[in-house]
Structure 1
Amino acid sequence: MKSTIALIAVLLVSLSSTGQELNSPNSDLTMSFELLTDGTPTYTLHYKNKEVIAQSKLGLELVNESMSLRNGFKVSNIETNSFDETWTPVWGEQAEIRNHYNELAITLEQPEKDRHIIIRFRLYNEGLGLRYEFPQQDNLVYFVIKEEHTEFAMTGDHTAFWIPGDYDSQEYDYTTSKLSEISIRFDEALTGNASQEQFAKTGVQTSLMMKTKDGLYLNLHEAALKEYSLMNLNLDESSMIFKSWLTPDAVGNKGYMQAPAVSPWRTIIVSDDATDILASNMTLNLNEPNQLEDTSWIKPIKYMGVWWEMITGKSSWNYTDELPSVKLGETDYLKTKPNGKHAANTDNVKRYIDFASKHGFDALLVEGWNEGWEDWFGKSKDYVFDFVTPYPDFDVELIQEYAASKNIEMMMHHETSGAVRNYERHLDTAYQFMNTYGYTSVKSGYVGDIIPRGEHHYGQWAINHFLYAVKKAADYKIMVNAHEAVRPTGLRRTYPNLIGNESARGTEFQAFGGSNPNHVTILPFTRLIGGPMDYTPGIFEMDISKLNPDNNSHVNATIANQLALYVTMYSPLQMAADLPENYNRFLDVFQFIKDVALDWDESHYLEAEPGEYITVARKAKGENNWFVGNVNGVTPRSTQLKLDFLEKGKTYEAIIYADAKDAHYKTNPQAYKISKKKVTYQSTLKLNSAPGGGFAISIMEH
């Protein structure tokens, strides 16, 4: 990757001062630091002279410490710095990313304890990052965090787009409410899941999106989460102050630290334009640069999968229904009767390979190929899968040879069922197996409670595992798409083989009762702030009962909306999730999924309002072709789409995939229209979006 760095010399500031200010490069944002009379560090944040974060306390409480790291501080050193670089991501929404900030690092000393910490602030044009740093020293070496006490003091009763604070799951629909209504509406925001634990009815998760009554947009999140516990937020309703709430371990502790060490960055993105929130690269920029010397093997993937037919209940992951329990190495599947519904069989997989190859896809995911699925869920069972032993009806070698002959790569599936220790015991063998059979990417899953018992998906122990699996995968040149893992915080900059995550309510929930039709107008403001999501879009048959008569779920989207997701829900890993037979019914609109790019030179966020609509235009990497996507909430609306992002002097052909006049996500989701038009940078398109609908446009140079 290339980068250019402009580094301005460190400036030492008066050590006697307890109050300091830091301005963003464009001066729109001002952060103020102050010590209270008891030595408690605080900060405030202003945007264009408006206070957006009122005075908020900082600090940490340690186990078995009377004073901890909360107060009693004196400023012993102040350093400022300005930084400006341009770096090239391995893959992403832009060919180049600018990393430009002003920095303030304040060393705080506790004279009574003879120890010190550093609080580092980085102020970008779009927001603030802050973190705690623990330098090496005699009196702060090994320590245990009881709680982090970072505050975000709100300046009013903002509108928030939130999901319940949880130690294990982000798979919720979003609730839109005033901050004061969170506790009132908390119970109705809950939905069941395989593993979840809420901590308070005032708790919410990051990335938290908010809008003030005077039209400012605020986003609270974290960046570079590693060797630490995930941060939730807990609202003090009397003061309207959000306080950090770390995920505990099995005995209630929230972090085991060894200096020198740092916390993740706590981030606040601010703008008076919602599109600026979507365009922000601050979370990425707060992560360390790429640590992999060779990235030539990392590439975006458009794939299909033997998956949706199991999700809907049409087919099964299980090979047989005869086994009440399974012990790997002891259970003989050849002595059982196949259930006739097992989808991961050689003939069915070859059928998918044929379709994927015919339509130019890169890869095929197959779930349920390996022994153990009859006895995998909810048993608190450690040794569930070995990740290398196929069922009798899945011929690994034949499938690999057949796929290679069709120019299709196979994508591995590793479901751990939360048995993290078991997965780590098998990782090297599993990755070697992938290398042997040509699997270059893996979809890993962590459904269910974490084993060892009592640990959480978002605690420090599991956070360490998720990164361990990614770094180990890099040793074998394997790309990782982790489901049910921690939500991303920009680590894909440092480890670009982390090509995708789920960590939110994805398309599968459309077959589990449905998701709110405006769900996809909120996710880019929340979950995607930290990194791309393997949302698995592209469903064309919305009535799930047509696949499984026992499942009355409905996909709450129009076909045009499903197409638009390939642009609005950015990911270098995009799935065409429906069955081949459903795509064969709609080959004219399926063409957009075939055409749409995966990697981009430019991204332009044209219009946006969380919960209501998003319109995005992206320019394909190395080409002069553009793709536009719009997703709409529940209110029908019109868009005057200016194409002034196109190159001047060029003529393009636009293929427009739009909702038909009578389209509706519930009553008429498959109503669409396709039109073609010659366009230039001066063109404006008037387009309508149905409830739960949208539009998708491919714009090819003519």
Structure 2
Amino acid sequence: MNRAFLTLAATLLASLPTLSQRLHSPTNKLALSFQLGPTGEPTYQLSFGSKTVLKPSRLAVLVQGQPGFEKGLTVVKTDSAQADETWAPVWGEVKQIRNRYKELAVTLQQPGPEKRQLRVRFRLFDDGLGFRYEFPEQPNLKYFTVQDERTEFNLAADCKTFWIRGDYDTNEYLYATTKLSEVGPKNTPSTPEIGVQVPVAPNAVQTPLMLKSPDGLYINIHEAALVNYPAMSLLVDNARFDLTSQLTPDATGAKAYLQAPCHTPWRTVVVSDKAPEVLTSKLILNLNEPSKLQDVSWITPQKYVGVWWEMHVNRSSWDYAKVNNIKLNQTDWQALKPHGRHGANTANVKRYIDFAAKNGLQSVLVEGWNVGWEDWYGNWKEEVFDFVTPYPDFDVQELQRYAASKNVKLIMHHETSGSVTNYERRMPAAYQFMQDHGYDAVKTGYVGRIIPRGEHHDGQWMSNHFVRAAEQTAARRIMINMHESIRPTGLHRTYPNWLANEAARGNEFNAWSQGNPPEHETILPFTRLMGGPMDYTPGIFQIKLEHWNPTANKGRQVHTTLAKQLALYVTMYSPLQMAADLPEAYEQRPDAFQFIKDVPVDWDDTQVLEAEPGDYITTARKAKGKDEWYLGAITDEQARQSRVPLTFLTPGQKYVATVYADGKTADWEKNPMSYQIRRMTVDSKSVLKLQLAPGGGTAVSFKPTKAAGFR
């Protein structure tokens, strides 16, 4: 072998770390490139066909007290794999989900004698990319603290962006729609009604982040399988259109405490040139672990009513007596004089149970049943609730007996007041109390500043708490719905008893604040719902809230039409759907309430027929185990006409379509409660003409003619 050849071979070997590793998705829709930069910094880039999704973007994890994984790295190993499998969710939008991807795992090594290693694992699907950092078991990296993570998502252009400000403690902000270059305080909507706000930075936004590029790509950035790690926000470089991860810190400023072997959550990028395909992507679910529960027979998707909206519209209250200086275990609750507005009293709860039983709704939520509400507001207290002591006018045993006699279940409510250490201490007793009194579902709440003091809703400590709550309730065969929680990342696949979260600005804000603008519900499916179901609490019929309390609710209303409230049961997916209004609101409009009674909460198929974030969505879903379809169409503040081919229906089968539409003069602001109902016979060759009012919608049920009583 001559010297020239040896020199060439040595040069090639020396340059190997900078050579690009390339990966294509199963049908070549997407292409990923990985390489090391000139100083040994790992980078990746992503393309959709000939279009650039992400420019070269750096990957880095900084470790406290020792060299980080950011530069000076070499590639010591690459592995590839692929998978194509189908799995069935316990409940969901479809009966089966295909998990098909190609994988590249790159092992990187630091210089020096310690030779610490980091593996970056990429999974490329036809609908997007997932990647995470993995820390293998190794002699010189055992216990360590993540100082920061600097993952970049560098966009190719100034995208249209649907965003809320980055905050460590709340995700209940109003959405802004601007160019990415315009993200910042100047365009941040004012939300003074949110009590606890801890903004990340002036240029920070939350995930899921929805973007539309100038060349027509729809891009969604989020994370999957958030376990033992803080939630990720994104810092925006307005000039370069670059995004950089920002993790939620703990009280000391650290981001995460880890022990190898371990890994971070997946960072996800869903991308398509068709907006409906973003909504039907199952990439985030596919990146989560399969169910940890062996027996899931007790998990039941359901519709419910509740002693809840009446408090928001000032018909009643959560607290029992107007007193001060309450101490949880030192107060004689029987001796307190009630103020007469307490909603969770035995007679009132029975009224809701009767309504649920009469209308085929499975359960009743009761908030304000337990002592302590008098001494919560404004107090950053360790012990406010014990979750086992009812107010004197709430008869637990009698309501257990009465609900069982009506074949209705009661849903427990645990408001933690943000004192999570208190809740963790009391979980065993609280869940035992539930089992003793016939409750198999709980709604938790985390309103306020977190205790331990200095922790945030989105930090590692709380991330672990939410998983613990799912695990402990599952061990007792209890379903859970978490409000004011960390935003979902698909963990309901792993813990299918975790039915829903709030984790965004819900329907309740229409009751006591500036409300949610008509476009709000056309953005949420592209943002918050990408990670999992939302307990949005739709179904408000009495749109003008002065009806319930003219003085307290002056000028307040829900910012949709009544027909749109029906359509939300289809466009806003959840296996736990609330008929949120008061029973008397439904009793006054039984013809419209029929849709809420009929619409399922579990599905065999879902097809998004048309969609554009911030503008409109039309979705059709097939009921679980039935040849029945339900359609929801919603719009923003603009009226909209649409022609919807019914090709999703079974060919050759006739259906009775019951259409719940906006009235001819309906308008979300001027005439929101005007609706019309019509019936017609259709089949898969029919085309449905929709006329949506400003802020309006249409809901449709399709039942086979024989099942509907027609020939």
TM-score, normalised via structure 1 length: 0.97
The alpha-carbon deviation at position 64 of structure 1 amounts to: 2.2
Aligned residue number for residue 104 of structure 2: 104
The alpha-carbon deviation at position 195 of structure 1 amounts to: 1.8
The alpha-carbon deviation at position 343 of structure 1 amounts to: 0.4
Q: Is the 8 A contact 2:231 2:459 kept in 1?
A: yes
Residues 286-341 of structure 1: CA distance to partner in whole angstroms, max 9, x if unpaired? 000111111011110100000000112221001111x1121122111222211110
Aligned residue number for residue 42 of structure 1: 43
Question: Partner letter of residue 46 of structure 2?
Answer: L
Q: Is the 8 A contact 1:172 1:191 kept in 2?
A: no
The alpha-carbon deviation at position 227 of structure 1 amounts to: 0.1
Residues 593-633 of structure 1: CA distance to partner in whole angstroms, max 9, x if unpaired? 00001100000000000000000000000000000001110
Moved more, 219-228 or 505-514: 505-514
In structure 2, what is the Cα distance between the partners aligned to 1:144 and 1:512?
A: 42
The alpha-carbon deviation at position 189 of structure 1 amounts to: 4.7
Q: After the TM superposition, which residues 70-219 of structure 1 pair with which residues of structure 2 at under 5 Å, given as runs? A: 70-112=70-112, 113-219=114-220
Q: Is the 8 A contact 2:316 2:341 kept in 1?
A: yes
Q: Is the 8 A contact 2:416 2:423 kept in 1?
A: yes
In structure 1, what is the Cα distance between the partners aligned to 2:130 and 2:687?
A: 38
3-state SS in 2 of match to 1:418: coil
The alpha-carbon deviation at position 199 of structure 1 amounts to: 1.6
The alpha-carbon deviation at position 61 of structure 1 amounts to: 1.3
Aligned residue number for residue 551 of structure 1: 553
Question: Partner letter of residue 608 of structure 2?
Answer: Y
The answer to whether 1:285 aligns with 2:286 is yes
Aligned residue number for residue 395 of structure 1: 395
In structure 2, what is the Cα distance between the partners aligned to 1:111 and 1:364?
A: 61
In structure 2, what is the Cα distance between the partners aligned to 1:186 and 1:508?
A: 24
Aligned residue number for residue 306 of structure 2: 305
Residues 352-392 of structure 1: CA distance to partner in whole angstroms, max 9, x if unpaired? 11111100100000000000010123311011111010000
In structure 2, what is the Cα distance between the partners aligned to 1:612 and 1:185?
A: 23
Aligned residue number for residue 458 of structure 1: 458
Residues 99-158 of structure 1: CA distance to partner in whole angstroms, max 9, x if unpaired? 000000000011324110100000000000010000011111111111100000011111
Q: After the TM superposition, which residues 107-506 of structure 1 pair with which residues of structure 2 at under 5 Å, given as runs? A: 107-112=107-112, 113-321=114-322, 323-506=323-506
In structure 2, what is the Cα distance between the partners aligned to 1:233 and 1:186?
A: 17
The alpha-carbon deviation at position 15 of structure 1 amounts to: 6.9
Q: Is the 8 A contact 1:642 1:683 kept in 2?
A: yes
The answer to whether 1:588 aligns with 2:591 is yes
The correspondence for 1:614, drawn from 608, 613, 617, is 617
In structure 2, what is the Cα distance between the partners aligned to 1:477 and 1:548?
A: 40
Q: Is the 8 A contact 1:470 1:495 kept in 2?
A: yes
Residues 147-204 of structure 1: CA distance to partner in whole angstroms, max 9, x if unpaired? 1000000111111000000001010111100111111534435444132200211100
In structure 1, what is the Cα distance between the partners aligned to 2:261 and 2:187?
A: 39
The alpha-carbon deviation at position 68 of structure 1 amounts to: 1.0
- Calculate percent identity across the aligned residue pairs: 54
The alpha-carbon deviation at position 74 of structure 1 amounts to: 0.4
Q: How has the CA–CA distance of structure 1 residues 336 and 16 changed in structure 2, closer, same or farther, with 3 Å as cutoff?
A: closer
In structure 1, what is the Cα distance between the partners aligned to 2:398 and 2:193?
A: 40
Q: Is the 8 A contact 1:174 1:189 kept in 2?
A: no
In structure 1, what is the Cα distance between the partners aligned to 2:23 and 2:190?
A: 39
Question: Partner letter of residue 360 of structure 1?
Answer: G
In structure 2, what is the Cα distance between the partners aligned to 1:360 and 1:18?
A: 63
Q: Is the 8 A contact 1:226 1:264 kept in 2?
A: yes
Q: Is the 8 A contact 2:533 2:575 kept in 1?
A: yes
The correspondence for 1:605, drawn from 599, 605, 608, is 608
The answer to whether 1:64 aligns with 2:65 is yes
The alpha-carbon deviation at position 512 of structure 1 amounts to: 1.9
3-state SS in 1 of match to 2:118: strand
Q: Is the 8 A contact 1:164 1:186 kept in 2?
A: no
The alpha-carbon deviation at position 213 of structure 1 amounts to: 1.3
In structure 2, what is the Cα distance between the partners aligned to 1:195 and 1:286?
A: 32
Aligned residue number for residue 651 of structure 1: 654
The answer to whether 1:573 aligns with 2:591 is no
In structure 2, what is the Cα distance between the partners aligned to 1:471 and 1:534?
A: 20
Q: Is the 8 A contact 2:55 2:154 kept in 1?
A: yes
Question: Partner letter of residue 692 of structure 2?
Answer: S
In structure 2, what is the Cα distance between the partners aligned to 1:126 and 1:506?
A: 28
Question: Partner letter of residue 467 of structure 2?
Answer: L
Residues 252-294 of structure 1: CA distance to partner in whole angstroms, max 9, x if unpaired? 1111111111000000011110000000000000000111111
In structure 2, what is the Cα distance between the partners aligned to 1:525 and 1:496?
A: 22
The alpha-carbon deviation at position 16 of structure 1 amounts to: 5.8
Aligned residue number for residue 535 of structure 1: 536
Q: Is the 8 A contact 2:133 2:264 kept in 1?
A: yes
Moved more, 370-379 or 405-414: 370-379
- RMSD of aligned residue pairs (Cα, Å): 1.1
Q: Is the 8 A contact 2:543 2:558 kept in 1?
A: yes
In structure 1, what is the Cα distance between the partners aligned to 2:197 and 2:512?
A: 17
In the alignment, structure 2 segments of 5+ residues that lack a partner are: 1-14, 706-711
Question: Partner letter of residue 634 of structure 1?
Answer: E
Residues 531-585 of structure 1: CA distance to partner in whole angstroms, max 9, x if unpaired? 0000000000111121122123210000110000100000000000000111111
3-state SS in 2 of match to 1:188: coil
The alpha-carbon deviation at position 17 of structure 1 amounts to: 6.2
In the alignment, structure 1 segments of 5+ residues that lack a partner are: 1-13
In structure 2, what is the Cα distance between the partners aligned to 1:617 and 1:15?
A: 51
Aligned residue number for residue 26 of structure 1: 27
In structure 2, what is the Cα distance between the partners aligned to 1:320 and 1:188?
A: 36
Q: Is the 8 A contact 2:352 2:583 kept in 1?
A: yes
3-state SS in 1 of match to 2:253: coil
Question: Partner letter of residue 509 of structure 1?
Answer: F
3-state SS in 1 of match to 2:463: helix
Question: Partner letter of residue 555 of structure 1?
Answer: V
Moved more, 283-292 or 110-119: 110-119
Question: Partner letter of residue 129 of structure 1?
Answer: G
The answer to whether 1:636 aligns with 2:639 is yes
3-state SS in 1 of match to 2:184: helix
In structure 2, what is the Cα distance between the partners aligned to 1:82 and 1:179?
A: 35
Q: Is the 8 A contact 2:174 2:189 kept in 1?
A: no
3-state SS in 1 of match to 2:183: helix
